[in-house]
């Protein structure tokens, strides 16, 4: 895949207006995980930058923090960093995460020192992000303020983008598995950090269920609920519906804001032809008993979804009963490069415009 950078850096966005927009620029709010979401958002920015009208679009991105992990004493936020690097032009494109032109001297040295774990690869450039984040957190800054600083380094404000972690409360997704790890009885449940299950175990050990430490007492970060309530459009990029979008939806207040906003909520399916495009979303849907299909994922958003973009291969599958009022459109949903991602983002905005604002302020 060739994800050459085509977003002009540090330019105001121009865009057309949806029927819902007022006299200001269109306010777009998106919920995102890592690679799938970031590639979609880069396409969205590219599409917006090509619009002829003079209004500035405001794009607020609400990022998943359930993937966060502390390694070597450093706080790592993989999904936020993937968004930063992708929108800022610093991502390793073929891989979709981590830094381009990366070296691994520090981790090699850590390995020589016997420091564990080694299954999570942290490059030297990437490490600088985590050192800076950890220092600022240690000085008492909330994660949202830290993320604003990192976003400035990557030129997001100049692109009209505000990146918000969904919460400043530390949360961590864990996966309950029933394997025969050393020291445990066969069949005894144990919880492993999501990253260990995803990266080291490659999601090959079936998940019994997911549990998110800290989620019940998590408070939405400043601006998160307002960004949903006051948006002209809310987009769900093709992110993992369980461990990316699902975690964001689990932060108290977020789901209610989506149900109550006047903005149309439009999602893009991460499942094409009954399979994830990349990653292990199928292994995440299994413990929920949800079918690995575009319709199955839509069902997870049934209480707030207004528009659903599916791949043409999935056009024939009906949405679950009770979701018939959701407008469904189909097109090619494979993000081959920035331009094809931009086309998908444009189609999502077109669908939002066709749906229009909600009249009563609630979808159900
Ligand atoms: P992660 O946090 O890095 O796993 O990334 P996300 O949660 O943002 O996105 C993961 C999802 O993106 C997976 O379920 C993939 O199926 C989906 N995805 C990746 N590439 C594409 C693509 O080109 N098109 C579509 N429709 N979905 C994609
Ligand atoms: Ca992720």
- What's the N-to-C CA distance of the chain in angstroms? 40
Cβ-based burial of 158 (10 A; exposed 0-12, middle 13-18, buried ≥19): middle
Q: Is the CB of 281 under 6 A from ligand 1?
A: yes
Q: How far apart are CA 277 and CA 307, in angstroms?
A: 21
Contacts of 289 (CB under 8 A, 6+ apart): none
CA of 219 to the centre of ligand 1 (A): 26
Contacts of 256 (CB under 8 A, 6+ apart): none
CATH number for the domain harbouring residue 118? 3.40.50.10680
- H helices of the chain, in order, are 35-49, 78-88, 105-112, 124-138, 143-153, 194-195, 224-229, 245-250, 254-260, 281-285, 294-300, 338-355
Q: Is residue 124 assigned to a domain?
A: yes
Q: Ligand 1, atom 19: nearest CA belongs to which residue?
A: 36
Ion ligand 2: residues, Cβ under 5 Å: 33-34, 67, 79
pLDDT along the chain (364 residues), means of 10: 36 42 78 98 96 76 98 98 98 97 97 96 97 98 98 97 98 92 73 96 95 97 98 98 98 98 98 96 96 97 98 94 93 98 98 92 46
Q: Which atom of ligand 1 is nearest to the CA of 281?
A: 14
Q: Which atom of ligand 1 is nearest to the CA of 270?
A: 27
Pull the structure tokens for residue 143: 């994660």
Q: Is the CB of 165 under 6 A from ligand 1?
A: no
Q: Is residue 42 assigned to a domain?
A: yes
Q: Is residue 220 assigned to a domain?
A: yes
Q: Ligand 1, atom 25: nearest CA belongs to which residue?
A: 270
Domain that holds residue 302: 27-169+216-355
Count of structural domains, the chain: 1
Q: What is the DSSP string of 320-347?
A: PTT-TTSEEEEE-----SHHHHHHHHHH
pLDDT digits (tens, 9 = 90+) for 132-142: 999 999 999 99
Q: What is the pLDDT of residue 188?
A: 87
Q: What is the pTM of this model?
A: 0.92
Q: How far apart are CA 262 and CA 331, in angstroms?
A: 26
Q: Is residue 188 assigned to a domain?
A: no
Q: Is the CB of 129 under 6 A from ligand 1?
A: no
Contact in structure between 265 and 286 (CB atoms under 8 Å): no
Say whether 167 sits in a helix, a strand or coil. strand
Closest ligand to C-alpha of residue 38 is 1
Cβ-based burial of 12 (10 A; exposed 0-12, middle 13-18, buried ≥19): middle
Q: Is residue 3 assigned to a domain?
A: no
Q: Ligand 1, atom 18: nearest CA belongs to which residue?
A: 36
- Helices 78-88 and 143-153 cross at an angle (nearest 10°) of 20
Q: Is residue 55 assigned to a domain?
A: yes
Q: Is residue 7 assigned to a domain?
A: no
Phi, psi of 87 (to 5 degrees): -70, -25
Q: Is the CB of 241 under 6 A from ligand 1?
A: no
CA of 135 to the centre of ligand 1 (A): 31
CA of 78 to the centre of ligand 2 (A): 6
Largest CA distance in the chain: 64
Q: Is the CB of 90 under 6 A from ligand 1?
A: no
CA of 244 to the centre of ligand 2 (A): 6
pLDDT digits (tens, 9 = 90+) for 323-352: 989 999 999 999 999 999 999 999 999 999
Q: What is the pLDDT of residue 14?
A: 39
Q: Is residue 239 assigned to a domain?
A: yes
């Amino acid at each position: 895949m060739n994800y050459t950078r085509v977003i002009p850096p540090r330019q105001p966005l121009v865009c057309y207006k949806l029927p819902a927009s007022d006299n200001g620029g269109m306010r777009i709010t998106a919920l995102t995980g890592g690679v799938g979401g970031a590639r979609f958002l880069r396409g969205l920015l590219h599409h917006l930058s090509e619009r002829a009208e003079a209004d500035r679009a405001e794009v607020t991105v609400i990022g998943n923090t359930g993937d966060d992990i502390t390694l070597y004493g450093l706080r790592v936020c993989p999904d936020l960093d993937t968004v930063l690097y992708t929108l800022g032009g610093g991502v390793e494109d073929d891989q979709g995460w981590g830094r381009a032109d990366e070296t691994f001297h520090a981790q090699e040295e850590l390995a020589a020192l016997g420091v564990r774990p080694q299954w999570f690869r942290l490059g030297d450039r990437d490490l600088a992000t985590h050192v800076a984040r950890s220092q600022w957190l240690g000085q008492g800054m909330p994660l949202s303020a830290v993320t604003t600083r990192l976003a400035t380094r990557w030129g997001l404000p100049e692109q009209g983008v505000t990146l918000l972690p969904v919460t400043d409360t530390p949360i961590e997704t864990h996966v309950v598995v029933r394997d025969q790890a050393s020291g445990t009885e066969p069949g005894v449940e144990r919880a492993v950090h999501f990253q260990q299950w995803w990266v080291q175990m490659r999601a090959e050990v079936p998940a019994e269920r997911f549990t998110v430490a800290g989620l019940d007492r998590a408070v939405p970060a400043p601006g998160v609920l307002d960004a949903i309530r006051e948006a002209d459009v809310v987009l769900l990029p093709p992110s993992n519906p369980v461990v990316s979008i699902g975690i964001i939806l689990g932060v108290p207040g977020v789901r209610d804001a989506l149900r109550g906003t006047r903005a149309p909520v439009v999602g893009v399916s991460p499942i094409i032809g009954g399979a994830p495009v990349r990653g292990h979303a199928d292994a995440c849907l299994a413990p929920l008993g949800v079918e690995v299909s575009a319709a199955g994922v839509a069902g997870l958003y049934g209480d707030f979804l207004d528009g659903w973009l599916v791949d043409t291969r999935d056009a024939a599958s009906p949405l679950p009963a009770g979701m018939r009022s959701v407008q469904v459109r189909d097109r090619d949903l494979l993000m081959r490069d920035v331009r094809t991602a931009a086309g998908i983002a444009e189609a999502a905005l077109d669908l939002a415009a066709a749906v229009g604002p909600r009249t009563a302020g609630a979808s159900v």
